[in-house]
Amino acid sequence: MNKLALCKFILLLMPILCAGISVPAAADSEIDATIDAAIDSRAPEHHVLVMLHLPPLHFRPDANYASGYGDGHGRHARRRIAAELARAYGLRLVGDWPMPLLGVDCFVMQVPASESPSRVATLLEHDARTEWAQPMGVFHMLGHNDPLYPVQPSAKYWHLADLHTVTTGRAVRVAVIDSGVDDGHPDLLGQVALRENFIDGNPYAREAHGTAVAGIIAARADNGIGISGVAPNARLMALRACWQESADSTDTTRCSSFTLAKALHFAIMHEALVINLSLTGPSDRLLQRLLDVALARGIKVIGAIDPDSPGGGFPASYPGVWAVAGALPKGDGINVATNALTAPGNDIPTTLPGGRWGFVSGSSYAAAHVAGLAALLTELQRSLTPSQVRARLLASAPEPIALRMAGTINTCALVTWAAGTCPCLCAATHALATNQRP
Amino acid sequence: MSTRLAGCLGCLLRDAAGALLVVVIAPPALCQVSGSIALVSDYRFRGVSLSDEQPALQLNLEYDRDDGWYAGGFVSSAQVNEDEPAAAQLVAYAGYARRLSSGWGWEVGATKSVFLQAAGYDYAELFVGMSAENISARLYFSPNYFGRDGESIYAEFNGAYPLRQHLRLLGHIGFLRPLSRRDDASSLLFDTRLGVSADIDHWNLIIAWISSEGQHAEYRYRDRHRNAGILTVSYSF
């Protein structure tokens, strides 16, 4: 071995290797460097994908053995062709990705806002230089990424994620007349449109009951934390008419006719479309008069049934108010009136003050579920009267397991009726599936 | 050395221009024409220097059709022997390559190598090969390897290992063996190459170490340096 040749080789090797290793990203081709910046992930619908033929690897006499598809010969030729195509059709070349499995090099081109991507793709298809072209498709997730979503009864039995493909209660104002809502809770950020305190001498506080009800109705969906509300795009009106006397338990949350009346009056004046009253008490003339006004205006009023009170308590038993009880597992022995709705009310994961989450049970929370559902239906059909919707709710028959676990409401059937399209496994196919189960 | 290089360039331009026209025809829209220009510190072909261990300038032009057929031309300054004048080597090649669903591909083709101004070294070869993204293997058969009246086969295996984006480790091993009974049946020449390839936009740098062992009667070259470090700089378009 010639030592001189070896020394020369080593001396040459070091700087070349260092140059190779330290090559910064800026030295990459113009197209590479602009890929992340230019492909607007917020507007993928303005792009087309253009496929150019990717020749198989083959013999070449020069010294560059075994070059791969990414860096190899022909890549610049294809980019040249792609740049010509972009110029010819008034597009902007953004990037490419070779796909040897398909024998194509896939180029991404941006379509001007005034043009239709599908029209451009059709034109490109007819160009002999391309293998094929297509508009960039946009896909969305099914289901929610909220970590507690899987343990929400509404997720499984109410098919919440499916419902959300057609409605999320967008812009529907839901008044939560309750104790204070923690509107700074990460899962409620931006969900509370307005917040009012109707209790004199008792400043606004973030309380458990109100926060829990608000979370069930409209906790943010797909924010990667906590739960998904039944109507995640609804606008909450956090109307504090109740106060928590003891910090330890929500059982001591109290409201008065006066505070409730002020809150109810405010809700009606500020165009709430759904009012949630997860509370119970004696019949009250003032509140009855206000409820009459609300119902006459087509506002859906939801009340929680008091299991200890015959008839369900007030305001749940008031004509026109949707009385809701928690759907408890069979054998509980609770008799529910035939015009009552049942909804998930047992072991519900929800938001709690201080950025926490916890499990709650009770008809308060079943009512909150129905308030959320009312918001979903209102987004789809604003003109229906509450009694029409409630009649439909009562008539809906869910599949047996949902009936047992989550109440009498078939949310899929309801949303199908209101939306005109079926977002979930439709009744017929589901019946088929359940019939086949042993 | 500089006068030699100038001489090489001269013959390259004068004699290769005509031949290149054959390749540089206006391609139909369905073809992709690509090419590269390279400067190598030593044109080593299967372990043997074809530029008398001097730098060489090379040009490669190729077009690929949608249906898998390809053809190309390669020109390089060359000096097969210090007794011969500076010449240019012209290689015309064509073949058919096909990609299989498994990710492997196969190809078959032929090359014709002509040494301008250095008669007697021209030869033709047929080859078959298989390749995947990072490895390839080819078998070549020549009835008149480097102008000798005898058949030879050459088998090679190539591999590339990606070190990081745009940086690869290259490896190659090849075996050249005469088939003619007139020569020593045990004559075998094998060559190896180990190198690093860096891609920077249109440019490519390869620094490699080549080594060869064995004897081969077909090569009429001075057996001076079996091992060498080679630098290649090329520009693709």
Q: Taking residues A157-176, what's their average pLDDT?
A: 92
Closest CA to B234 of B34, B25, B15, B14: B34
Q: Measure B35 CA to nearest chain A CA, in Å.
A: 7
Q: Measure A369 CA to nearest chain B CA, in Å.
A: 52
Q: Is the pLDDT of residue A295 over 90?
A: yes
Nearest residue, CB atoms, B225 vs list A5, A10, A27:
A5
Residue length, chain A?
438
pLDDT in tens, B187-202: 778 889 999 999 888 8
Mutate: best of A3, A32, A53, A62, partner B, most B CBs <10 A = A62
Q: What is the distance between the alpha carbons of residues A337 and B59, in angstroms, rounded to a whole number?
A: 90
Q: Is B142 exposed, middle or buried (0-12, 13-18, 19+ CB in 10 A)?
A: buried
Q: Which residues of A touch B36 (CB under 8 A)?
A: 62, 64, 73
Closest CA to A257 of A288, A300, A212: A288
Q: What is the distance between the alpha carbons of residues A173 and A233, in angstroms, rounded to a whole number?
A: 10
Q: DSSP H helical segments within A256-358, as ranges?
A: 257-269, 285-296
Q: What is the distance between the alpha carbons of residues B207 and A64, in angstroms, rounded to a whole number?
A: 11
Q: Measure A131 CA to nearest chain B CA, in Å.
A: 9
Nearest residue, CB atoms, A61 vs list B91, B200, B208:
B91
Contact B29 A55 (CB under 8 A): no
Q: Is the pLDDT of residue A438 over 70?
A: no
pLDDT in tens, A40-92: 445 667 888 899 998 888 888 875 554 555 556 788 889 999 999 999 999 99
Are residues A71 and B199 in contact, defined by beta-carbon separation less than 8 angstroms?
A: yes
Predicted local distance difference test score (pLDDT) of residue A249: 63
- Comparing alpha-carbon positions, the chain A residue that sits nearest to B173 is A65
Contact B111 A128 (CB under 8 A): no
Q: Measure A83 CA to nearest chain B CA, in Å.
A: 13
Contact A29 B62 (CB under 8 A): no
Nearest residue, CB atoms, A12 vs list B99, B159, B231:
B231
Q: Which residues of B touch A1 (CB under 8 A)?
A: 227
Q: Sheet harboring A322-327: ordered strands across?
A: A192-197, A235-240, A173-178, A274-277, A300-304, A322-327, A341-344
Q: Measure B132 CA to nearest chain A CA, in Å.
A: 8
Are residues A47 and A110 in contact, defined by beta-carbon separation less than 8 angstroms?
A: yes
Residues 6+ apart with CB under 8 A from A138: A44, A45
Q: Which sequence positions of A are flagged as catalytic?
A: 178, 209, 364
Confidence tier at B103 by pLDDT (50, 70, 90): confident
What ipTM does this complex have? 0.81
Mutate: best of A11, A73, A84, A127, partner B, most B CBs <10 A = A73
Query: What's the Cα-to-Cα distance from B7 to each of A41, B13, B15, B39, B56, rounded to whole Å?
Result: 56, 10, 12, 15, 11
Q: Is A70 exposed, middle or buried (0-12, 13-18, 19+ CB in 10 A)?
A: middle
Q: Is the pLDDT of residue B121 over 50?
A: yes
Q: Which residues of B touch A27 (CB under 8 A)?
A: 200-201
Strands A235-240 and A173-178, sheet pairing: parallel
Contact B70 A58 (CB under 8 A): yes
Minimum mean pLDDT range among A179-183, A296-300, A379-383: A379-383
Q: What is the distance between the alpha carbons of residues B78 and B82, in angstroms, rounded to a whole number?
A: 11
Closest CA to A278 of A348, A330, A220: A348
Are residues B161 and B169 in contact, defined by beta-carbon separation less than 8 angstroms?
A: yes
Q: Which residues of A touch B201 (CB under 8 A)?
A: 27-29
Predicted local distance difference test score (pLDDT) of residue A337: 56
Q: How many CA atoms lie within 13 A of B110 on its CB side?
A: 5
Predicted local distance difference test score (pLDDT) of residue A186: 96
Predicted local distance difference test score (pLDDT) of residue A138: 65
Are residues B205 and A63 in contact, defined by beta-carbon separation less than 8 angstroms?
A: no
Nearest residue, CB atoms, A23 vs list B29, B138, B198:
B198
Gyration radius of chain B over CA positions = 18
- Comparing alpha-carbon positions, the chain A residue that sits nearest to B27 is A129
pLDDT in tens, B169-178: 999 999 988 8
User: A229-245: b or e for each residue (b if 16 or more CB lie within 10 Å)?
Assistant: bbbbbbbbbbbbbbbbe
Confidence tier at B8 by pLDDT (50, 70, 90): very low
pLDDT in tens, B64-95: 888 899 999 999 998 877 777 778 999 999 99
Q: Measure A361 CA to nearest chain B CA, in Å.
A: 56
Tokens matching residue A416: 């199908």
Contact A56 B98 (CB under 8 A): yes
Nearest residue, CB atoms, A61 vs list B64, B70, B93:
B93
Confidence tier at A253 by pLDDT (50, 70, 90): confident
- Comparing alpha-carbon positions, the chain B residue that sits nearest to A28 is B201
Nearest residue, CB atoms, A59 vs list B103, B138, B199:
B138
Contact A61 B74 (CB under 8 A): yes
Q: What is the distance between the alpha carbons of residues B194 and B202, in angstroms, rounded to a whole number?
A: 22
Tell whether B236 is within 8 A of chain A (Cβ): yes
Are residues A159 and A329 in contact, defined by beta-carbon separation less than 8 angstroms?
A: no
Predicted local distance difference test score (pLDDT) of residue A235: 97
pLDDT in tens, A324-348: 988 865 434 444 555 678 899 889 9
Q: Is the pLDDT of residue A39 over 60?
A: no
Q: What is the distance between the alpha carbons of residues A39 and A27, in angstroms, rounded to a whole number?
A: 20
Q: Taking residues B163-186, what's their average pLDDT?
A: 80
Contact B160 A64 (CB under 8 A): no
pLDDT in tens, A214-251: 999 999 999 999 999 999 999 999 999 998 877 666 66
Q: Which residues of B touch A103 (CB under 8 A)?
A: 99
Most confident of A103-107, A154-158, A373-377, B79-83: A373-377
Q: Is the pLDDT of residue A29 over 70?
A: no
- Comparing alpha-carbon positions, the chain A residue that sits nearest to B71 is A60
Tell whether B60 is within 8 A of chain A (Cβ): yes
Q: Is the pTM of this model over 0.80?
A: no
- Quote the DSSP letter at residue B145: G
pLDDT in tens, A392-428: 887 777 776 667 677 888 888 888 888 888 887 655 5
Residue linked to tokens 């700089």: B233
Q: Residue B135 is inside which H or E element, if any?
A: strand B135-142
Q: What is the distance between the alpha carbons of residues B131 and A435, in angstroms, rounded to a whole number?
A: 54
Are residues B136 and B170 in contact, defined by beta-carbon separation less than 8 angstroms?
A: no
Tell whether B108 is within 8 A of chain A (Cβ): no
Q: Which residues of A touch B197 (CB under 8 A)?
A: 64, 67
Q: Residue A8 is inside which H or E element, if any?
A: helix A3-21
Q: Is the pLDDT of residue B3 over 90?
A: no
Residues 6+ apart with CB under 8 A from A158: A230, A344, A369, A373, A402, A406, A409, A411
Gyration radius of chain A over CA positions = 31
Angle at B91 between CA B85 and CA B94, to 5 degrees: 170
Nearest residue, CB atoms, A128 vs list B29, B60, B206:
B29
- CB–CB contacts below 8 A, A to B: 174
Beta-carbon neighbour count of residue A86 at 10 Å?
A: 18
Contact A27 B200 (CB under 8 A): yes
Q: Measure A109 CA to nearest chain B CA, in Å.
A: 20
Tokens matching residue A402: 């949902």
pLDDT in tens, B22-62: 434 444 445 678 888 999 999 988 888 888 888 999 999 99
Tell whether B115 is within 8 A of chain A (Cβ): no
Q: What are phi and psi of A369, to 5 degrees?
A: -60, -45
- Comparing alpha-carbon positions, the chain A residue that sits nearest to B100 is A101
